[in-house]
C-alpha cells in the first residue's frame, strides 16, 4: 500500500466509470474512508486513503438520479444532496441501507447542492431557490427537512444563475458560512437569530466559488472554472476576510468540492467543462490529493 501523504505516495485517486462527472465528497477526519458521488446517475463510490482505485459503494438507483454535496457524521450516516430532485438521502455506511429520504416542497426550480453538519443538524443549500434547509439530527435519529431560512429581504439576494453553493460551519454550530457562486460573495449566518451578513472581502470576490472548507479562521474556497483554491483568512467574528494567495495543482480538472485529512486536501475533479455533446472527459475521473498551502 502506498503511504498516503508521504513523498512518492498517492497523488490522486481514480473513480470507476467513463461518465461519472463527480461533484461531492464526504470524509470523516481520522477515518481512512471517503465517498464521492456521480452527478450522472447517483452512483456513490468509496475510496480508502492510500489505495489508488476507488470502487462502487452504492449503485445507481432511479430514485436517486444524482449525487451532489455529501457529508458523513460520527454515526457513519452519509447525507447526500439530490440536486434537482429536491431530496436528501441518508444512508448507513456500515450496512449500506437507506435510512431516510427527505423531501423538500415542490418548486419550479430547485437544486439541493451542499451540506454542512453541526452538532444537532444538517444544513443544505439550494442553488435555485432562496431557502436554506435544516435537518435535525441526534445520535439515534434524523429528522425532516424544514425550510429553515428564507433569504428574501436579507443581505443575500438571489440572482440569475447559480446562487448558493458551498456551506461550512464552525465546530460549535453557532455560525454558518456560505458562498454565492454567481456573485463571488461570502456570507455569515448566525444560527441563533438567523441573521445574514455579507463578509467584507475588501472589494474582492471568490466568483465561481464551489465547495468550501473551514479550518479555524481559514476558509478554503474552490473556484471551479478558475481551477484554483483560495485561502481566506477570516476575522474572529467571521465578519471580514482577507484573500490569500490562490494555489492550484497540475492534476486539477474543474475542481468542485474538498475534504481534509491532516495537512492534505482531497479535491474532486468534476470535469464539468468537458460535459456535453461533442466533448470528451479525460479518463479516468479522479480525486486529487494535494498539500494544504
Report the pLDDT value the prediction gives residue 190, as an integer from 0 to 100.
98
Report the pLDDT value the prediction gives residue 96, as an integer from 0 to 100.
97
pLDDT tens column, 75-118: 999 999 999 999 999 999 999 999 999 999 999 999 999 999 99
* Nearest CA-CA partner of 181 in 205, 152, 207, 158: 207
CA–CA distance, 112 with 128 (Å, rounded to integer): 8
0.85 exceeded by pTM: yes
Report the pLDDT value the prediction gives residue 3, as an integer from 0 to 100.
46
Query: Kind of pairing, strands 12-14 and 286-291?
Result: antiparallel
- Listed as ranges, residues in the chain with pLDDT below 50 are 1-3, 6-7
* Nearest CA-CA partner of 259 in 6, 61, 9, 13: 13
Task: Specify the long-range contacts of residues 71-75, CB closer than 8 Å, at least 24 apart.
Answer: 71/26, 71/115, 71/116, 71/117, 71/122, 72/26, 72/27, 72/28, 72/35, 73/28, 73/117, 73/137, 74/28, 74/139, 75/139, 75/140
Report the pLDDT value the prediction gives residue 146, as an integer from 0 to 100.
98
Report the pLDDT value the prediction gives residue 220, as an integer from 0 to 100.
98
Report the pLDDT value the prediction gives residue 9, as an integer from 0 to 100.
74
Report the pLDDT value the prediction gives residue 5, as an integer from 0 to 100.
53
Task: List phi, psi (to 5°) of 79.
Answer: -100, 130
Fold of the domain built from segment(s) 12-291: Methylamine Dehydrogenase; Chain H (2.130.10)
Amino acid at each position: 500500500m502506498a503511504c498516503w501523504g508521504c513523498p512518492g505516495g498517492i497523488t490522486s485517486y481514480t473513480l470507476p466509470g467513463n461518465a461519472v462527472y463527480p461533484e461531492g465528497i464526504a470524509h470523516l477526519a481520522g477515518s481512512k474512508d471517503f465517498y464521492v458521488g456521480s452527478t450522472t446517475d447517483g452512483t456513490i463510490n468509496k475510496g480508502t486513503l492510500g489505495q489508488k482505485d476507488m470502487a462502487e459503494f452504492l449503485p445507481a438507483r432511479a430514485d436517486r438520479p444524482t449525487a451532489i454535496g455529501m457529508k458523513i457524521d460520527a454515526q457513519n450516516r452519509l447525507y447526500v444532496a439530490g440536486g434537482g430532485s429536491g431530496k436528501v438521502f441518508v444512508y448507513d455506511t456500515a450496512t449500506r441501507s437507506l435510512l431516510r429520504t427527505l423531501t423538500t416542497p415542490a418548486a419550479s426550480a430547485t437544486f439541493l447542492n451542499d451540506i454542512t453538519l453541526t452538532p444537532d443538524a444538517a444544513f443544505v443549500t439550494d442553488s435555485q431557490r432562496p431557502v436554506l434547509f435544516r435537518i435535525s439530527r441526534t445520535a439515534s435519529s434524523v429528522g425532516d427537512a424544514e425550510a429553515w431560512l428564507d433569504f428574501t429581504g436579507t443581505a443575500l439576494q438571489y440572482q440569475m444563475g447559480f446562487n448558493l453553493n458551498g456551506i461550512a460551519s464552525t465546530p460549535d454550530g453557532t455560525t454558518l458560512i456560505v458562498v454565492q457562486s454567481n456573485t463571488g460573495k461570502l456570507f455569515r449566518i448566525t444560527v441563533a437569530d438567523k441573521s445574514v451578513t455579507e463578509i467584507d472581502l475588501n472589494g474582492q470576490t471568490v466568483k465561481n466559488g464551489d465547495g468550501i472548507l473551514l479550518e479555524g479562521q481559514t476558509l478554503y474556497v474552490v473556484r471551479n472554472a478558475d481551477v484554483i483554491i483560495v485561502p481566506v483568512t477570516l476575522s474572529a467574528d467571521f465578519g471580514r476576510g482577507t484573500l490569500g494567495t490562490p494555489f492550484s495543482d497540475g492534476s486539477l480538472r474543474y475542481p468542485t468540492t474538498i475534504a481534509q485529512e491532516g495537512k492534505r486536501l482531497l479535491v474532486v475533479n468534476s470535469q464539468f467543462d468537458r460535459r456535453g455533446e461533442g466533448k470528451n472527459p479525460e479518463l479516468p475521473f479522479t480525486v486529487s490529493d494535494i498539500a494544504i498551502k
